[in-house]
Amino acid sequence: MKNVLILLFTVVICMFQDANAARIHSEKWYQQQWCPLHDGLMEQVLANGTRVDCITKEYAMEFDFGDLYFKLLIKTWLIKNYKKN
């Protein structure tokens, strides 16, 4: 339940961001900053073909910009429903 609330909060915040705002850094830059700090592996592909920006022992992280929130929600659902064999 806590994760759902965090996700909804993030989506609401992203909806009110200016979609035309200039991006200071690329998506890759944010991955490179976060992933090594959390002992994660970047750009991993799951068995179902879903690409994950960074995967750790506990989390699969996807980095994206606010104006692409719908894509992020779909990808989050795919990763969440992925079952390891």
pLDDT surpassing 90 at residue 48: no
Phi-psi region of 57 (alpha: psi -120 to 50; beta: other; left: phi over 0): alpha
In this prediction, residue 64 has a pLDDT band, given cuts at 50, 70 and 90, of confident
Task: Please tell me the distance from the alpha carbon of residue 20 to that of residue 77, in angstroms, as a whole number.
Answer: 26
70 lies in a domain?
yes
18 DSSP 8-state letter: -
In this predicted structure, what is the pLDDT of residue 13?
A: 62
Q: What is the pLDDT of residues 11-43, one digit of tens each?
A: 656 655 555 567 778 888 888 988 999 999 999
In this prediction the pTM is: 0.54
Query: 85 lies in a domain?
Result: no
Number of structural domains, the chain? Answer: 1
Expressed as residue numbers, the domain containing 6 is 2-17+26-80
Q: How confident is the model at residue 73 (pLDDT cuts 50, 70, 90)?
A: confident
Q: Taking the CA atoms of the chain, what radius of gyration do you get in angstroms?
A: 13
